[in-house]
Structures are given as structure tokens and as C-alpha cells.
């Protein structure tokens, strides 16, 4: 079987498989929300809290990164942490690394593991911080 035939078979198979599902889809109920997006920013490391009410993510704008938490019930965005100056350079999106505590009330994140690995544990309700530094190497 040549590539053109394989490609046609592939497209017709998936079109037939999902066309009925697509026809039966309905728009979600409720008001539409306009999402704000800064063109120069990159969003990554998105984590949903265990109870599903909060979303933590990293926003990187020209090297300055911010860790933010979106409350899905109220729509409020809270900045948890910010670091690095804004500079045009090759960006490293491998950090910070974030994760939720299983109870959903605390967020942990690791900062720049190349020089000095910093682990920060923060309780969202009390804004209490616990920092720990380890030499990379």
C-alpha cells in the first residue's frame, strides 16, 4: 500500500469514527468567559488541585516567571511567587516545577535546579512559607 492510499484510509477511518460524536456535541451551559492572555507570555506547568477548585500555573514573560493560582469558583487569580528580571534571552521552561499537596491547601515548587535547588512549600490560606536550599551537583 502506498503512502497516499494509507493517508486516505486513515482520514476516512477517523472521520467515520468521530463524525457522529461531533454532531452530538453540545456547547457547555452558562455564560462565556473571556480569557485574558498576554501575547509575550508563555504559560506552562499547569496543575489542577486535588479537589478541582484551583489551578496553579507558571506565567513566563521574557524570562520573568510568576507562579499563579486561579480559583475556578471565583475567577480570582493570586500571584504566589515571582522571580528573575525581564530580559530577552533564551528561556528555560524546565523550571519552576510545581505540585499540589494531596489536601489541596498547599503548593510546593522547585526553583532553578542548575545552581542552588530551592524547594518552597507554601500554605495558600495562611501564606506561610517554608524554604529549603540544596546545592546542585
Structural domain boundaries in the chain? 41-135
**What value does the mean pLDDT take over residues 110-136?**
62
What gap in Å lies between CA 67 and CA 83, rounded to an integer?
Answer: 9
Work out the pLDDT band at 117, boundaries 50, 70, 90.
low
pTM, two decimals, is 0.63
* pLDDT score for 86: 73
What is the separation, in whole angstroms, between the first and last Cα of the chain? 52
Alpha-carbon separation of residue 132 from 16, 23, 43, 95, 122 (angstroms): 55, 53, 26, 16, 12
CB 123: neighbour CB atoms within 10 A? 13
Q: Is the pLDDT of residue 129 over 80?
A: no
**What value does the mean pLDDT take over residues 91-108?**
83
Amino acid at each position: 500500500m502506498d503512502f497516499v492510499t494509507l493517508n486516505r484510509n486513515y482520514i476516512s477511518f477517523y472521520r467515520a469514527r468521530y463524525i457522529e460524536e461531533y454532531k452530538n456535541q453540545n456547547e457547555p451551559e452558562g455564560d462565556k468567559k473571556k480569557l485574558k492572555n498576554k501575547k509575550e507570555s508563555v504559560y506552562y506547568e499547569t496543575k489542577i488541585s486535588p479537589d478541582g477548585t484551583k489551578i496553579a500555573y507558571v506565567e513566563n514573560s521574557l524570562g520573568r516567571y510568576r507562579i499563579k493560582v486561579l480559583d475556578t469558583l471565583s475567577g480570582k487569580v493570586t500571584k504566589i511567587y515571582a522571580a528573575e528580571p525581564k530580559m530577552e534571552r533564551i528561556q528555560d521552561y524546565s523550571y519552576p516545577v510545581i505540585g499540589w499537596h494531596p489536601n489541596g491547601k498547599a503548593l510546593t515548587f522547585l526553583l532553578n535546579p542548575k545552581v542552588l535547588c530551592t524547594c518552597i512549600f507554601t500554605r495558600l490560606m495562611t501564606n506561610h512559607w517554608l524554604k529549603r536550599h540544596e546545592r546542585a551537583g
